[in-house]
Amino acid sequence: MKKFFLLCAAALCMTSCLNDDDNGTIPDDGLRVVTFEDNSVPSVKGFWSSLIDDPQYGGPLLYQNYNPEDWTYDTEYSWADPNTKLASEIPWVNFYGSMTRSFGSGGVAISNYRQEDIKSATYEKQLAVPFSESNNSNFAVVYQGTTDEQYLPSIHFSDSKARLIRGMYITLTSYTQNSIFNGDEYTTPFDAKDNYTITFIGYNGSDEPKKVNYVINVNNAHDLLAGWIPVDLSILGKVTEIKFLVDSSKKNDFGIATPTYFAFDNVYVQLNQGEY
């Protein structure tokens, strides 16, 4: 687990982190962190690790029930954190008139893969990040298969209640970094004018969605080669769902030319009064 508690106040302005009260005890202010580590759910052995597919591409968890007649999948892959009710599942997507769901059409998958040599990172290493950590911690990988808002990958609360997601840490996958720095068969490397934007779209079921943009270029992309970067999502307010939209200045005849993957970890969830 990353040292997120030590960084949260400075990096994400999370002023409700735990503090000692007058009696020397630690009050519970309802702030929870989704770490994707097995020890966060000790009652179930391998709770999060059991969701990591092998191989990374075309594995039995993320690519289920292939139908060769219309090239579709029916993949029942989902996860839900019992401590916060934060959840995700692979959505159904319209694929040339047929509905399909697999990680290949977009979703949020649990991973612990590393690929530090980004030059050899292809789609077959789609769940890897470009740096190692001593405790080999788990994280989530987002893949966007379409820009249609109704089919975007997302996280949500399984009980449909709105809660404040204060922030999370993000990085780019090794495959995405390879395309940005080295180019690939679909596009050339980024130059000074290029950018890669991750938009977090917050929904609460009634108000207009709010958005937070995180823009990556050749300068701050180097930071993402070495570790995780905090993103403050508190401006979204209480949400029932956050969808992820990825865009790139690199385009070709088919749309976005840069791989539309990123990873996130340590999601800060503020529980509502009465939930803790």
Mean per-residue pLDDT, 116-121: 96
Say what the pLDDT of residue 36 is. Answer: 97
pLDDT digits (tens, 9 = 90+) for 194-234: 999 999 999 998 889 999 999 999 888 888 888 999 999 99
Mind listing the pLDDT tens digit for each residue in 149-197?
Answer: 999 999 999 999 999 999 999 999 999 999 999 999 999 999 999 999 9
* Topology (CATH level 3) of domain 4-270: Jelly Rolls (2.60.120)
Does pLDDT of 17 surpass 50?
A: no
CB-count exposure of residue 17 (10 Å: 0-12, 13-18, 19+):
middle
139 and 111 in contact (C-beta within 8 Å)? Answer: yes
| H/E stretch holding 213 | strand 210-216
- pLDDT the model gives residue 22: 44
Sign of the Cα pseudo-torsion (116, 117, 121, 124, in order): negative
Cβ neighbours of residue 159 under 8 Å, at least 6 residues apart? 85
What's the chain's length in residues?
A: 276
